[in-house]
Chains A and B, each alone.
Chain A
């Protein structure tokens, strides 16, 4: 049990882990996954706290489980050094960005009527939507180049888009259906 709580790292090493993630936090513009390559460099290549395989399966696990994908950081920390490691990594990655976001939100709300603030929020809206559609596209693209799966997967993606736009079917049911179809090798 104690290995689950506190893994092999010493307290100074845990401090170093947290410090590294604190630093990455403010660089994680566009999501924490943008800093994953650096996490890999630090945890696998530099410190040898994780194997390459364990790094990859940590990310896969967080993607398979429900909730924000940022939880891959908790899994990385857990695999490095138990629950204390998970807490150190999560606090590190969240604390600086959270502080900044709360401060920036309040400032923006207090200056809501300021011309510059209005221009920023409404002027960025087209970019946000373009980026969202591009993200969906980029996530879909790799599935469509695998020869054996191409058409079935394309049909499923199109069905998802149509069902999401035209009906109120629960999102979780669509994702689970995709998982079941995938597990049985249909898509």
Chain B
């Protein structure tokens, strides 16, 4: 079940964007079980677990690739985590991979949640359960917060640049938390600004 030990290439010192050889799933069943394992750990949200598993444990994608995949996943319709599963599955094994990754993400959790729904939902209203949901919800919030903070350094290798990137992220944070602007306008304004800066930087580096 463990990923194949990939020979780590020796890198020149201080290279800011090391091209580390990434691991990949060996087979469709490897992909399925990896996504099942990931999904079953995700109480109250799967994104933090996805980062930990796909980037840190399995090494199927770099921190930068994870952020870029998430960037695309969130502007497309559908849940981010479902879109990420489809994109990763498709990258390794084409359409079959996309379907297998989706099945891994949804299969066992669907079985569990529908079994619980069939039993009874009165236990959900008990004081202990309300408290448990509070506690789990608060930890989930902390996990998302930490994952976002942990991924911030990936902006160092972004053509937009670290400081402009951090400024844009801060702008999005403020617009979401304090101004409560709809996502559509934030994507249009800050997203547009980020893309323009990226375009200028990429053009300059290619020229």
Residues of B with C-beta under 8 A to A41: none
Contact of B132 among A4, A132, A161, A182 (CB under 8 A): A182
In the complex, what's the smallest C-beta–C-beta distance from A172 to chain B, in angstroms?
Answer: 4
Q: Identify which of B4-12, B19-27, B108-116 touches chain A.
A: B108-116
Residues of A with C-beta under 8 A to B48: 164, 171
In the complex, what's the smallest C-beta–C-beta distance from B40 to chain A, in angstroms?
Answer: 5
> Known contacts A130-B169, A165-B146: does B195 contact A71 (CB below 8 Å)?
no
Dominant SS among interface residues on chain A: helix
Residues of A with C-beta under 8 A to B194: 123-127
Q: Are A104 and B76 in contact (CB under 8 A)?
A: yes
> Known contacts A129-B169, A131-B172: does B42 contact A120 (CB below 8 Å)?
no
Residues of B with C-beta under 8 A to A180: 132, 135
Contact of B141 among A32, A119, A139, A177 (CB under 8 A): A139
Residues of A with C-beta under 8 A to B191: 123-124, 127
Residues of B with C-beta under 8 A to A145: none
Q: Are B136 and A179 in contact (CB under 8 A)?
A: yes
* Bound CA–CA A105/B195 (angstroms): 18
In the complex, what's the smallest C-beta–C-beta distance from B53 to chain A, in angstroms?
Answer: 9
Q: Are A140 and B44 in contact (CB under 8 A)?
A: no
> Which residues from 10 to 38 on chain B have a C-beta closer than 8 Å to any C-beta of chain A?
none
Interface size class for chain B? 35 or more
* Bound CA–CA A66/B72 (angstroms): 25
In the complex, what's the smallest C-beta–C-beta distance from B125 to chain A, in angstroms?
Answer: 7
Q: Are A127 and B82 in contact (CB under 8 A)?
A: no
| Smallest CB-CB A-B distances: 6 pairs | A182-B135, A67-B109, A130-B172, A160-B142, A136-B145, A97-B78
Measured CB to CB, the residues of B under 8 A from A are: 39-49, 52, 56, 64, 67-68, 70-83, 86-87, 90-91, 95, 98, 102, 105-106, 108-110, 112-114, 116-118, 121, 124-125, 128-129, 131-152, 154-155, 158-160, 164-173, 176-177, 183-184, 186-187, 190-191, 194-199, 202-203, 206
Measured CB to CB, the residues of A under 8 A from B are: 4, 25-32, 34, 54, 57-58, 60-71, 74-75, 78-79, 83, 86, 90, 94, 96-98, 100-102, 104-106, 108-109, 115-116, 118-140, 143, 149, 153, 156-162, 164-165, 168, 170-172, 174-187
